[in-house]
Chain A
Amino acid sequence: MITAKAGAELSAKIVAQLKPGYHCNSDKPSDEYLIPLKLTWTPAPLEVAGIVYPKPQMEKYTFSEKPLSVYTGDFEIVTRFKVPATAHLGPAVLSGKLRYQACTDRMCLPPKTVDVSLPITVVK
Chain B
Amino acid sequence: MSTIRLLAIASLAFVGAATLSTTGCSNTSAAAVKPEKDRKVAPDFTLKDANGNLVKLSDYRGKVVLLNFWATWCGPCKIEIPWFIDFQQQYRDRDFAILGVSFDDDGWKSVKPYIEQKKINYRVMIGTEELSTLYGGIDSLPTTFLIDRTGRVAKMHMGLVGKDEYQSEIQDLLNGKQPAKAGSLLSPGRFAFIRAE
Contacts and interface: CB of A to CB of B under 8 A. Distances in A.
B160 A18 contact: no
A106 B7 contact: no
Interface of chain A: mostly helix, strand, loop or mixed: strand
B159 interface: yes
B37 interface: no
Interface residues of B, number: 35
Nearest to A78: B1
Contacts of A64: 75
Interface stretch (B56-64, B76-84, B182-190): B76-84
A103 B73 CA distance: 10
Interface residues of A, number: 40
Interface string A32-64: 011100000000000000000000000001111
Nearest to A74: B7
B13 A110 contact: yes
Contacts of A63: 75-76, 78-79, 160
A14 to B, nearest CB: 5
Contacts of B5: 14-15, 17
B71 to A, nearest CB: 7
A12 interface: yes
Contacts of B71: 108, 110
A4 B96 CA distance: 65
B73 A111 contact: yes
Given A107-B142, A107-B159, A15 B3 contact: yes
Interface string B129-142: 00000000001111
A85 interface: no
Interface of A: 2, 10-19, 22, 24, 33-35, 61-64, 68, 78, 98, 100-112, 114, 116-118
Interface of B: 1-11, 13-14, 17, 27, 71-79, 103, 105, 110, 114, 139-142, 158-160
29 contacts: A10-B1, A10-B2, A12-B1, A12-B3, A15-B3, A17-B5, A17-B8, A17-B9, A18-B8, A18-B9, A22-B10, A33-B73, A62-B160, A63-B160, A68-B75, A98-B9, A106-B159, A107-B27, A107-B159, A108-B71, A108-B76, A108-B140, A108-B141, A109-B13, A109-B141, A110-B13, A112-B9, A114-B6, A118-B4
